[in-house]
Amino acid sequence: MISADVTLRTQFYDIDPMNIVWHGNYARYLEESRTNLMAKIGYGYAEMQASGFAWPIVEMWLKYVRPLKLGQKFIMRATLKEYENRIRIEYRGLDAETGDVLTKARTVQLAVSIATGELAFTSPQQLIDCVRSHL
């Protein structure tokens, strides 16, 4: 499937009193990676809205393999795994120097009509076309 990487470095404001990245910051790292992936296929937030659909996250799973520390450079890789009925993305947080796995994660998003608030049971054709043009 299609993948996109974003390289990040942990900042002082990311760190908790135990001198590791506070767990809540990982959602932001996933968002940066997911945004990069969706832009890569041509279906970013502007295109989602133009297609008439919002894509709320309905499921998020994270596994902390190793802690991120202050100033650590890491890669967050997002890989699109499903797109026809929902968007399922799997993530790997990797140490930028060693390639060691630091984090594993997954998100699931569903298409919801902006006009009616109703759930769509299949993905909009615009998303399907964007993905297929990048396979």
**Domain map of the chain by residue range?**
3-132
Question: pLDDT, tens digit, for every residue of 27-64?
Answer: 999 999 999 999 999 999 999 999 999 999 999 999 99
Torsion from C-alpha of 71, 76, 134, 119, nearest 10 degrees = -130
Q: How many Cα atoms are found within 13 Å in the side-chain-facing hemisphere of 24?
A: 4
**Residue 1 pLDDT exceeds 90:** no
Could you please state the CATH topology (level 3) that the domain comprising 3-132 is classified under. Answer: Thiol Ester Dehydrase; Chain A (3.10.129)
Question: pLDDT, tens digit, for every residue of 66-91?
Answer: 999 999 999 999 999 999 999 999 99
Percent of the chain with pLDDT over 90: 99
